[in-house]
């Protein structure tokens, strides 16, 4: 009998850890590139849009941020299909290659002053490419980390997807802090922000070569052998025709994601502009607050993931749903009214701790819903559609409501989205007890 790398022996555990690390490093760089845009928006907004109105420039970059999300469903479909038909490793290499190109394009695009309307158009093209990349990255990395993880530790290992997601944001914020300390405000606004995208492009190229050395997941190899190979021999693996046979699971992914993605982007990205523009906290102080809060949140992910292996996934999702429904409005209201850095940090951290109930296990929960032949597409496409519609527009809605003088309405919007997900969490089954991943292993 062939020994599977998911069996818990010391040698195989080391292989699992090695694969998780290589997959996670790639995920980290992908998300660094994605979040560098959000972190440096306040510096480059006027480079790509007319500089007369700061709010208008922020709205322009927020709109491009949202449009980038619209490519994520296409990326989830395209790379999810590739992952299910040609392998998880191949799709992950392709994903990070596209991210490298998108970051490089942003780094070298001239300003609005130099080339006019071509500047925001090129920014949009770069962001569309990045959206395509990150849409496929989520589904494929979530699938890969879930499949290579040791049984009984899948929640723990899968949580590293959000460890590295937060890590990518930390790298972006850390570089921002470094550049803020060595460059003047004028230098950062003029050209210093481009350094972040050059770093992202170079790192993505390095990761592209690292990912080529990862093991393909045992689940995919077994499914490929069973169904006759890859590519044209893959049958209906990774097709929409196969996916629509799982309508309940698709609806569950949408319901699972809705509140989580809106809440996550509210606290992890929009709060930076919120504290700066609404609370009036200095920009550098806001960066430090965000960095510290996200660092703690990143540390919490594997702890929560490990807890889910013991008590189940559903209890953590319920924690997020109840906490998000009851606490979002008070947290955001207090955050907008305080100029005390410590209190602002504690409020942001409270929001991120609540969101941890979703972020730490959302990948494994979705992977446990689908069989191997459709897992990457099943995880990726409905998730990416939900994120594009709700997560990607969260900041744009917030900025528009602020401009209209109704900023507090956004807090209730986030609460409503979380409440919908809470209803889903309260009625769904415990996925760890009926996991398709374990059925793959038994087969």
Total domain count, the chain: 1
Task: Judge whether 323 lies within some domain.
Answer: yes
Write out the residue range of the structural domain in which residue 273 sits.
14-442
For residue 191, CA distances in Å to 24, 146, 270 come to 30, 41, 24
Task: Judge whether 2 lies within some domain.
Answer: no
Q: What is the CATH number of the domain that holds 160?
A: 1.20.1250.20
pTM of the entire structure?
Answer: 0.82
Distance CA 124, CA 50 (A): 15
Task: Judge whether 5 lies within some domain.
Answer: no
Distance CA 156, CA 11 (A): 19
Task: Judge whether 4 lies within some domain.
Answer: no
Q: Which residue has the tokens 């420039």?
A: 57
Task: Judge whether 400 lies within some domain.
Answer: yes
Among residues 395, 404, 436, the alpha carbon closest in space to that of 67 is found at 395
Between the two ends of the chain, the Cα-to-Cα distance in Å is 13
pLDDT in tens, the chain (443 residues): 333 444 555 667 777 777 787 778 878 888 888 788 877 877 887 777 766 656 666 667 767 766 777 788 888 898 888 888 888 888 888 988 898 899 999 999 888 788 888 888 888 888 888 888 888 887 788 888 888 877 788 888 888 888 888 888 888 888 888 998 898 888 888 888 899 999 999 988 888 888 887 888 778 887 777 766 555 555 677 788 888 899 999 999 999 999 999 999 899 888 888 898 888 888 888 888 988 999 999 999 999 999 999 999 999 999 999 999 999 999 999 999 988 999 999 999 999 999 999 999 988 898 888 888 888 888 888 998 898 889 878 888 988 898 888 889 999 999 999 999 999 999 988 887 766 676 655 55
Task: Judge whether 8 lies within some domain.
Answer: no
Task: Judge whether 311 lies within some domain.
Answer: yes
Task: Judge whether 114 lies within some domain.
Answer: yes
């Amino acid at each position: 009998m062939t020994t599977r790398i998911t069996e818990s022996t010391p040698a195989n555990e080391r292989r699992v850890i090695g694969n998780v690390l290589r997959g996670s490093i790639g995920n980290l760089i992908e998300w660094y590139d994605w979040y560098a845009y959000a972190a440096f928006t306040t510096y480059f907004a006027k480079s790509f849009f007319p500089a007369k109105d700061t709010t208008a420039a922020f709205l322009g970059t927020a709109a491009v941020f949202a449009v980038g999300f619209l490519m994520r469903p296409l990326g989830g479909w395209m790379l999810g299909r590739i992952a299910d038909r040609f392998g998880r490793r191949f799709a992950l290499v392709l994903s990070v290659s596209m991210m490298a190109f998108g970051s490089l394009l942003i780094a070298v695009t001239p300003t609005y002053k130099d080339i006019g309307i071509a500047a925001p158009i090129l920014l949009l093209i770069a962001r569309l490419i990045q959206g395509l990349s990150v849409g496929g990255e989520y589904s494929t990395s979530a699938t890969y980390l879930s499949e290579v993880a040791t049984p009984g530790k899948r929640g723990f290992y899968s949580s590293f997807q959000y460890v590295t997601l937060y890590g990518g944001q930390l790298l972006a914020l850390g570089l921002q802090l470094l550049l803020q300390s060595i460059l003047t405000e004028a230098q950062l606004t003029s050209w210093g922000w481009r350094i972040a995208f050059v770093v992202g492009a170079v790192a993505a190229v390095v990761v592209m070569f690292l990912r080529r050395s990862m093991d393909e997941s045992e689940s995919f190899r077994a499914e490929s052998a069973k169904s006759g190979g890859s590519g044209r021999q893959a049958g209906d693996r990774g097709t929409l025709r196969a996916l629509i046979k799982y309508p309940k699971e698709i609806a569950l992914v949408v319901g699972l994601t809705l509140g989580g993605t809106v809440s996550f982007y509210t606290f992890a990205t929009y709060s930076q502009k919120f504290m700066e523009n609404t609370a009036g906290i200095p920009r550098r102080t806001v960066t430090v607050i965000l960095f510290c809060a996200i660092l703690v949140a990143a540390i919490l992910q594997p702890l929560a993931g490990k807890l889910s292996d013991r008590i189940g996934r559903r209890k953590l999702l319920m924690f997020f749903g109840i906490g998000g429904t009851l606490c979002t409005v008070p947290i955001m209201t207090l955050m907008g009214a305080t100029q005390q850095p410590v209190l602002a940090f504690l409020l942001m951290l409270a929001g991120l701790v609540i969101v941890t109930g979703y972020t730490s296990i959302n990948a494994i929960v979705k992977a446990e819903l689908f069989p191997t032949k459709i897992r990457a597409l099943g995880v990726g496409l409905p998730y990416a559609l939900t994120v594009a519609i709700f997560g990607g527009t969260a900041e744009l809605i917030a900025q528009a409501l602020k401009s209209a003088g109704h900023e507090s309405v956004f807090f209730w919007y986030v609460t409503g989205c979380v409440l919908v997900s809470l209803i889903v969490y309260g009625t769904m089954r415990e996925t760890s007890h009926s996991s398709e991943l374990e059925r793959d292993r038994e087969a």
